[in-house]
């Protein structure tokens, strides 16, 4: 095959479907990338992991009752399961000497295991929600989903739903950007302004759970964490500005969506995993070549900026 | 202008327990407006806890706090708080200007964006501490003294009447220390009330006009000439109340 | 040399049971032993999430092993998996070392990217989905003799290394800086630790699966941590819990068709943890609640005794008896409640009730205890005002709490410190129960 054929291949094979796949992957990755950036800044990256695992039993039970993967009750179920995991973590580490990290580990593995067992027991061999879906997501099945007519073209339903989620998240971010930045940077000062740290914390956790549930069907329970962390982490290595960081994270989401589609078509591999792998490669690039923290620059420059900074800090402590 | 004898900060029986362990016992203090107060005491005396509980950042388990005659919650905009420099992540991707702007957030409510007025206030504040040339720098690239100046600029941008500062002199160079002292005096000249947690007893006598001697309880509060006495300082630093801390340990174990 | 190896191999073969359930139990034992041992360090070093990251990171190795070894030799799979896990652990360290990223982000990146890479690779080679599923969610039934041999060897290496290195490893978990000061090669030990961690993950792979291995690393060890303060015991208990949840999980999942083993094992480990969480003798929740309740009841009794004393004091110790009604008024509580309190005091011999049932008097024991409490209260008030410069009107609240927890040793210190005082800051006399010889002598003349 010629180079050009590699580039046009997805469009030749999927036609307009390629666009829908890219859009879907982007709309899933975009809200994740924005909230995930804040998770990284708040050092809560693994909370995202815990949430994505622990909402699972809630989704299973809600799906068992409603029988519909698009039902809003799934969000309610997921929210309750997420709440349960928070309560379990608190119960363990407030009442005993088991520390927070182990308590988190106990809580989310238990809930995830419960989810898998419930799924096997309640749903049996269900076509919509099975172990494959938990691992791989249903992104690859997008083109087989129901479609609605919009502006003269048939748009797959999930794309519209995810677009709504993405727009909602961006709106929230636009409204509360300042509040989230201040409380992430200096929680004490934020509290002295009368912002309630607990309200902000749980509000953000709620939004993250909401996004995780929405993204869950597309990419599965475990790959969500990648979409949450990778864009923000890559962007963090590229800039010193929060707004720029968020923009780069969004760009990362877009490139992973496009690149993921190509990997998917070239290698005939699972689409969701391909998006994540592409995001991983981008992160690797940022790690090596990122303008701020790139390892390569540190090696080649006479006076690497980051090293200067760290030695300065040591001197001050 | 406010009357000079107005009380800027009044606490009554302010008590803080942390994990069931008493950290501050019944603090009664009334700070007159326009004074420059140093809060001094040994390590673990609850100096930071005192201002944090005044700010409501740490919940108090008893007593009340009034600022200019009103409960704290109703007078928040008149109070500026400068947390310890180490309490934030200096790798955070914000610039010097962003940090200074944060000082204006308190007056903006939850949703309004900072506009021209806020930006001008932030620039002026940065100018005053000599950090305006750095306003586009990432905060992680600053020295300790510069970071502290940025924090002070943020406080200036708050434009409050009462300031509570947590250890602003820690880890700064001599030049910055002198600059901060000048700045604090200037603020007092303009009628501000400033309370500063300070760890160095030597300089406390010359930097401030009032001292608040603290060691889990209020030892003394008053003008420097009245309380900067060997007996009171001995009481604050010397006689560590072994029984008190032993019993506090026991209370925490329950 | 070769003979030695084959001799060892045949020795190992002797250990491997023939029946299917025998194999499953053997696998559970190995799983419990390796994860239980390593888990203790994972919990104590607070690197629970590192375990999670390493366990997810082995997936591409498993997939590579399944693809590149035609006969699915467990040795090859284990080797690839261990290599992937170690690579993941190294990358986490490298990332934290060379960038501003914090540990949580580094762990999350490695966990998710490795896992996604594994899934992508596997989805490209659809032919072996079942094989990969066994490694993802565990299937203890699929473990055959050659798998077991591999698990056995790995576990043996792990246990022997742990046995020789347990002291330095424990030292390092407790205080890394200090052990560096002692001259331990901390870097090498850390490497060994992550090496062993990866090994334990690999041993557990086929039984529990990649996704939930970290449950086996964390939950049994955390349960053991609640039961004992001794490290050796914690190791043993953790292994026992791991084995127990492995066996019970394996049995249950064999009973129910199509249920993957991993989640069931994880759930049974959680169940065990839950039981211990509630019932553990010292660190369990129920015992803590019981302690709090008992303390509350004691404080109530002591407050009632104090009230009786204060009534007597108010009357200048003129009367022998105190009526329940007076006591209720003094305590500001209903008569029924006070009656209940009195019963509690009566059963402990602190008071004696008059025959009419409405008045009571303190027994000798009761006088002693009541005076102790009142003395504690007043001594503490005096201490706070005299030594700690408290305002007089601030000391009562604190003394109300402290009076119940002052130990005799501290009371003696207080007395010496205050030079055996007789009056409290409010001018009330401090009773001296030590001088209590006869009941009449308590009445100050």
**Going residue by residue through chain B (254 aa), what tens digit of pLDDT does each one get?**
445 568 899 998 888 887 777 788 888 899 999 999 999 988 878 899 999 999 888 888 888 899 998 888 888 888 888 988 888 888 888 899 999 999 888 777 767 778 888 899 999 999 988 899 998 888 888 888 899 999 999 988 988 899 999 999 988 888 889 989 999 999 999 999 999 999 888 888 889 999 999 888 888 899 998 888 888 888 887 655 677 777 777 776 66
What pLDDT score was predicted for residue C3? Answer: 58
Q: How far apart are CA C29 and CA B7, in angstroms?
A: 72
pLDDT digits (tens, 9 = 90+) for C334-350: 888 888 888 888 888 88
What pLDDT score was predicted for residue C176? Answer: 79
Say if the Cβ atoms of A104 and C49 lie within 8 Å.
yes
C110 close to A (CB below 8 A): no
- How many helical (H) and strand (E) elements, i.e. helices and strands, does chain C have? 19, 3
B83 close to A (CB below 8 A): yes
What pLDDT score was predicted for residue C234? Answer: 92
Which residue, A186, A255, A232, A169, is CA-closest to A33? A232
Q: How many CB pairs under 8 A join B and C?
A: 49
Beta strands B79-82; B162-165: pairing state: parallel
Count Cα neighbours of C268 within 13 Å in the Cβ-side half-sphere.
Answer: 20
A289 close to C (CB below 8 A): no
Q: Which residues of A touch B154 (CB under 8 A)?
A: 189
What pLDDT score was predicted for residue A301? Answer: 67
Please report, rounded to a whole number, the percentage of residues in chain C having pLDDT higher than 70: 92
The answer to whether residue C149 scores a pLDDT higher than 50 is yes
Neighbours of chain C (3+ CB pairs under 8 A): A, B
Which residues neighbour A181 within 8 Å (Cβ) at sequence distance 6 or greater?
A242, B94, B98
CB A34 within 8 Å of CB A250: yes
A293 close to C (CB below 8 A): yes
Structure tokens at B135: 């306003």
- As its CATH architecture, domain B7-87+161-253 has 3-Layer(aba) Sandwich (3.40)
* Main-chain dihedrals φ then ψ at residue B84, nearest 5 degrees: -60, 145
Which residue, A75, A80, A47, A53, is CA-closest to A205? A47
What pLDDT score was predicted for residue A47? Answer: 82
What does the DSSP assignment read for chain A? --HHHHHHHHHHHHTHHHHHHHHHHHHHHHHHHHHHHHHHHTT-HHHHHHHHHHTHHHHHHHHHHH--TT-THHHHHHHHHHHHHHHHHHHHHHHSS--HHHHHHHHHHHHHHHHHHHIIIIISS-SSSSHHHHHH-SGGGGGGS-EEEETTEEEEHHHHHHHHHHHHHHHHHHHHHHHHHHHHH-HHHHHHTT--HHHHHHHHHHHHHHHHHHHHHHHHHHHHHHHHHHHHHHHHTT-S-HHHHHHHHHHHHHHHHHHHHHHHHHHT--HHHHHHHHHHHHHHHHHHH-TTT-HHHHHHSSS-HHHHHHHHHHHH-
CB B49 within 8 Å of CB B84: no
Task: Count the neighbouring beta carbons within 10 Å of the beta carbon of residue C201.
Answer: 28
Say if the Cβ atoms of C225 and A97 lie within 8 Å.
yes
Q: Which residues of A touch B102 (CB under 8 A)?
A: 182, 185-186, 189
The answer to whether residue C2 scores a pLDDT higher than 60 is no
What does the DSSP assignment read for B87-110? GS-TTSS-BHHHHHHHTTGGGGTT
Say if the Cβ atoms of A192 and B76 lie within 8 Å.
yes
Q: Which residues of B touch C413 (CB under 8 A)?
A: 243
Q: How far apart are CA C39 and CA C17, in angstroms?
A: 27
What pLDDT score was predicted for residue B158? Answer: 87
- Looking at mean pLDDT, say which of B66-75, C81-90, C428-437 comes out highest: C81-90
**Distances B149 to B21, B50, B137, C442 between C-alpha atoms, Å:** 34, 23, 13, 66
Mutant choice from A92, A229, A264 vs C, greatest count of C C-beta within 10 A: A229
Structure tokens at C431: 């009773």
Q: Return the domain boundaries, chain A.
A: 3-316
What does the DSSP assignment read for B113-127? PP-HHHHHHHHHHHH
Query: Considering only alpha carbons, which residue of chain B is nearest residue C415?
Result: B243
Neighbours of chain B (3+ CB pairs under 8 A): A, C
**Where does A3-316 sit in CATH, by number?**
1.10.3470.10
Closest by Cβ to C124, choosing from A40, A99, A268: A268
Say if the Cβ atoms of C406 and B13 lie within 8 Å.
no
Q: How many CB pairs under 8 A join A and C?
A: 205
CB C64 within 8 Å of CB C57: no
Say if the Cβ atoms of C48 and A276 lie within 8 Å.
no
Closest by Cβ to B13, choosing from C295, C394, C417: C394
Q: How far apart are CA C397 and CA A154, in angstroms?
A: 73
Dihedral of CA atoms C286, C291, C296, C299 in degrees, nearest 10, equals: 170
Mutant choice from B22, B222, B241 vs C, greatest count of C C-beta within 10 A: B241
Residue window 151-170, chain B: list those with CB within 8 Å of chain A: 154
pLDDT digits (tens, 9 = 90+) for A45-82: 888 888 888 888 988 898 888 887 777 788 888 888 88
Query: Considering only alpha carbons, which residue of chain B is nearest residue C394?
Result: B26
Say if the Cβ atoms of A222 and C263 lie within 8 Å.
no
Closest by Cβ to A245, choosing from B55, B93, B99: B93
Out of A134-148, C253-267, C296-310, which region has the weakest mean confidence (pLDDT)?
A134-148
* Main-chain dihedrals φ then ψ at residue C425, nearest 5 degrees: -60, -20
Q: Which residues of C touch B22 (CB under 8 A)?
A: 398
Structure tokens at A80: 């309750």
A101 close to C (CB below 8 A): yes
Q: Which domains does chain C have, with CATH numbers?
A: 2-281 (1.10.3470.10), 288-362 (1.10.10.10), 367-442 (1.10.10.10)
Which residue, A136, B101, B91, A243, is CA-closest to C121? A136
Query: Considering only alpha carbons, which residue of chain C is nearest residue B62?
Result: C397
Q: How confident is the model at residue C191 (pLDDT cuts 50, 70, 90)?
A: confident
Interface of chain A against chain B, CB under 8 Å?
A: 41, 43, 175-176, 178-179, 181-182, 184-186, 188-189, 191-195, 236, 239-242, 244-245, 305, 308-309, 312-313, 315-317
* Element spanning B220, H or E: strand B218-223
The 3-state secondary structure of A109-148 reads: HHHHHHHHHHHHHHHCCCCCCCHHHHHHCCHHHHHHCCEE
Which residues neighbour A303 within 8 Å (Cβ) at sequence distance 6 or greater?
none
Tell me the angle at which helices C103-124 and A271-289 cross, rounded to the nearest 10 degrees: 140
Query: Considering only alpha carbons, which residue of chain C is nearest residue B249?
Result: C405
Closest by Cβ to A175, choosing from B90, B98, B111: B111
What pLDDT score was predicted for residue C264? Answer: 92
Q: Which residues of A touch C132 (CB under 8 A)?
A: none
Token pair 């559970």 is found at: C28
Q: Return the domain boundaries, chain B.
A: 7-87+161-253
Structure tokens at A293: 């923290």
Say if the Cβ atoms of A105 and C48 lie within 8 Å.
yes
Closest by Cβ to C109, choosing from A106, A273, A283: A283
Q: Which residues of A touch C104 (CB under 8 A)?
A: 40, 43-46
Query: Considering only alpha carbons, which residue of chain A is nearest residue B91?
Result: A240
Minimal C-alpha gap between C153 and chain B (Å): 46
What does the DSSP assignment read for B179-207? HHHHHHHHHHHTT-EEEEE---HHHHHHH
Find the mean pLDDT for residues C266-295.
92
Angle at B228 between CA B227 and CA B233, to 5 degrees: 95
Q: How far apart are CA C108 and CA C49, in angstroms?
A: 9
C262 close to A (CB below 8 A): yes
Which residue, C300, C288, C376, C229, is CA-closest to B253? C288
Minimal C-alpha gap between C366 and chain B (Å): 25
Q: Which residues pair with B193 in a beta bridge?
A: B162
Spatial strand order in the sheet of B21-32: B21-32, B7-18, B62-67, B70-71
Say if the Cβ atoms of C99 and A293 lie within 8 Å.
yes
Say if the Cβ atoms of C417 and B243 lie within 8 Å.
yes
Closest by Cβ to A102, choosing from C137, C222, C288: C222
What does the DSSP assignment read for C76-98? HHHHHHHHHHHHHHHHHHHHHHH
C430 close to A (CB below 8 A): no
Q: Which residues of B touch C387 (CB under 8 A)?
A: 239, 241, 243-244
CB B38 within 8 Å of CB B1: no
Mean pLDDT of chain C: 84
Q: Maximum distance among all alpha carbons in chain A?
A: 65
Say if the Cβ atoms of A242 and B93 lie within 8 Å.
yes
Closest by Cβ to C390, choosing from B26, B239, B243: B26
Q: State the burial class of residue A315 (Cβ atoms within 10 Å of its Cβ: 0-12, 13-18, 19+).
A: exposed
Which residues neighbour C183 within 8 Å (Cβ) at sequence distance 6 or greater?
none
Say if the Cβ atoms of B26 and C388 lie within 8 Å.
no
Q: Maximum distance among all alpha carbons in chain C?
A: 101
Q: How far apart are CA A246 and CA C168, in angstroms?
A: 44
CB C38 within 8 Å of CB C219: no
What pLDDT score was predicted for residue C129? Answer: 64
Minimal C-alpha gap between B149 and chain A (Å): 14
What pLDDT score was predicted for residue A152? Answer: 66
**Stretches in chain A below the pLDDT threshold 70:** 1-2, 125-128, 142, 145-150, 152, 301-317
Which residues neighbour B193 within 8 Å (Cβ) at sequence distance 6 or greater?
B8, B9, B31, B32, B33, B34, B35, B36, B37, B161, B162, B163
**Distances C225 to C30, C37, C40, C171 between C-alpha atoms, Å:** 21, 12, 8, 17
Which residue, A245, A208, A227, is CA-closest to A27? A227
* Element spanning C205, H or E: helix C186-208
Neighbours of chain A (3+ CB pairs under 8 A): B, C
B140 close to A (CB below 8 A): yes
Structure tokens at A192: 């002295």
The answer to whether residue C242 scores a pLDDT higher than 90 is yes
Minimal C-alpha gap between C394 and chain B (Å): 6
What pLDDT score was predicted for residue A1? Answer: 58
What pLDDT score was predicted for residue A282? Answer: 95
Q: How confident is the model at residue C135 (pLDDT cuts 50, 70, 90)?
A: confident
Which 3 state secondary structure label does DSSP give C313? Answer: helix
Minimal C-alpha gap between A264 and chain C (Å): 9
């Amino acid at each position: 095959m010629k180079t050009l054929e590699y580039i046009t291949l997805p469009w030749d094979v999927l036609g307009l479907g390629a666009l829908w796949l890219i859009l879907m992957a982007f709309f899933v990755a975009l809200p994740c990338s924005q909230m995930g950036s804040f998770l990284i800044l708040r050092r809560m990256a693994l909370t995202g992991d815990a949430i994505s695992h622990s909402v699972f039993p809630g989704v299973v039970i809600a799906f068992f009752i409603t029988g519909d993967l698009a039902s809003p009750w799934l969000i309610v179920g997921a929210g309750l399961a997420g709440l349960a995991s928070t309560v379990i973590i608190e119960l363990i580490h407030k009442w005993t000497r088991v520390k927070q990290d182990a308590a988190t580990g106990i809580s989310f593995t238990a809930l995830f295991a419960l989810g898998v067992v419930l799924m096997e027991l309640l749903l049996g061999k269900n076509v919509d929600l099975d172990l494959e879906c938990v691992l791989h997501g249903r992104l690859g099945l997008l083109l087989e989903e129901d479609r609605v007519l919009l502006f003269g073209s048939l748009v797959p339903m999930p794309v519209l739903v995810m677009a709504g989620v993405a727009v909602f998240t961006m709106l929230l971010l636009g409204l509360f950007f300042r509040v989230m930045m201040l409380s992430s940077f200096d929680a004490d000062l934020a509290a002295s302004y009368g912002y309630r740290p607990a309200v902000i914390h749980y509000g953000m956790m709620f939004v993250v759970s909401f996004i995780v549930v929405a993204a869950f069907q597309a990419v599965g329970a475990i790959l969500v964490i990648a979409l949450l962390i990778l864009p923000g982490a890559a962007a963090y290595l590229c800039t010193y500005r929060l707004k720029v960081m968020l923009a780069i994270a969004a760009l990362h989401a877009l490139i992973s969506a496009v690149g993921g589609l190509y990997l998917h078509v070239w290698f005939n591999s699972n689409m969701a995993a391909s998006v994540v792998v592409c995001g991983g490669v981008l992160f690797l690039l940022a790690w090596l070549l990122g303008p701020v923290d790139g390892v390569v620059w540190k090696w080649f420059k006479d006076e690497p900026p980051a090293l200067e900074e760290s030695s300065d800090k040591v001197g001050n402590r | 202008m406010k009357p000079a004898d107005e009380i800027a900060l009044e606490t009554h029986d302010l008590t803080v327990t942390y994990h069931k362990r008493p950290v501050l016992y019944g603090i009664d203090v009334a700070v007159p407006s326009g004074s420059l107060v140093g809060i001094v005491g040994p390590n673990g005396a609850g100096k930071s806890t005192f201002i944090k509980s005044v700010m409501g950042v740490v919940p108090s388990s008893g007593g009340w706090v009034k600022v200019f005659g009103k409960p704290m919650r109703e007078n928040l905009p008149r109070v500026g708080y400068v947390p310890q420099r180490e309490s934030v992540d200096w790798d955070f991707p914000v610039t010097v200007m962003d940090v200074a702007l944060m000082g204006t957030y308190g007056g903006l409510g939850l949703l309004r964006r900072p506009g021209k007025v806020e930006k001008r206030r932030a620039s002026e504040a940065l100018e005053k501490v000599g950090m305006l040339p750095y306003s586009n720098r990432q905060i992680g690239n600053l020295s300790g003294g510069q970071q502290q100046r940025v924090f002070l600029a943020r406080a200036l941008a708050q434009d409050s009447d009462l300031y509570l500062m947590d250890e602003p002199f820690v880890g700064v160079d001599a030049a910055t220390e002198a600059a901060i002292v000048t700045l604090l005096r200037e603020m007092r000249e303009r009628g501000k009330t400033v309370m500063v947690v300070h760890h160095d007893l030597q300089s406390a006598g010359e930097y401030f006009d009032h001292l608040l001697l603290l060691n889990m309880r209020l030892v003394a509060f008053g003008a420097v000439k009245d309380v900067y006495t060997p007996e009171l300082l001995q009481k604050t630093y010397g006689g560590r109340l072994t029984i008190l801390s032993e019993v506090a340990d026991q209370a925490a174990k329950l | 040399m070769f003979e030695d190896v084959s001799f060892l191999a045949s020795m190992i073969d002797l250990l491997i049971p023939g029946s299917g359930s025998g194999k499953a139990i053997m696998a559970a034992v190995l799983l419990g032993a390796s994860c239980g041992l390593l888990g203790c360090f994972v919990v104590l070093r607070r690197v629970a999430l590192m375990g999670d990251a390493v366990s997810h990171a082995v997936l591409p190795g498993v997939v590579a092993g399944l693809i590149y070894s035609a006969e699915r030799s467990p040795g090859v799979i284990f080797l690839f998996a261990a290599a992937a896990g170690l690579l993941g652990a190294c990358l986490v360290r490298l990332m934290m070392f060379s960038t501003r990223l914090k540990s949580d982000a580094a762990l999350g990146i490695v966990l998710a990217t490795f896992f996604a890479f594994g899934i992508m690779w596997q989805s490209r080679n659809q032919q072996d989905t079942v094989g990969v599923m066994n490694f993802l969610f565990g299937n203890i039934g699929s473990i055959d003799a050659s798998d077991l041999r591999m698990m056995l060897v790995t576990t043996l290496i792990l246990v022997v290394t742990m046995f020789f290195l347990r002291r330095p490893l424990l030292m390092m978990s407790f205080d890394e800086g200090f052990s560096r000061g002692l001259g331990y090669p901390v870097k090498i030990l850390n490497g060994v630790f992550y090496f062993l961690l990866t090994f334990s993950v690999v041993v557990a792979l086929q039984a529990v699966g990649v996704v939930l291995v970290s449950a086996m690393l964390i939950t049994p060890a955390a349960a053991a941590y609640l039961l004992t303060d001794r490290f050796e015991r914690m190791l043993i208990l953790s292994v026992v819990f791991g084995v127990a949840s492995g066996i019970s999980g394996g049995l249950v999942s064999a009973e129910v068709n199509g249920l993957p083993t991993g989640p069931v094992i994880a759930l049974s480990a959680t169940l065990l943890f839950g039981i211990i969480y509630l019932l553990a003798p010292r660190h369990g929740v129920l015992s803590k609640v019981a302690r709090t309740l008992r303390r509350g009841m004691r404080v109530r009794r002591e407050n009632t005794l104090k009230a009786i004393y204060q009534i007597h004091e108010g009357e200048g110790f003129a009367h022998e008896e105190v009526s329940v009604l007076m006591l209720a008024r003094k305590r500001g509580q209903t008569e029924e409640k006070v009656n209940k309190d009195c019963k509690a005091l009566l059963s402990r011999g602190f008071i004696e009730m008059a025959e009419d049932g409405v008045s009571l008097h303190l027994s000798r024991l009761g006088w002693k205890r009541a005076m102790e409490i009142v003395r504690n209260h007043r001594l503490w008030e005096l201490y706070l005002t005299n030594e700690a410069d408290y305002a007089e009107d601030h000391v009562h609240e604190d003394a109300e709490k402290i009076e119940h927890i002052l130990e005799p040793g501290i009371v003696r210190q207080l007395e010496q410190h205050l030079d055996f005082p007789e009056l409290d800051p409010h001018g009330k006399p401090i009773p001296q129960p030590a001088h209590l010889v006869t009941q009449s002598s308590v009445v100050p003349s």
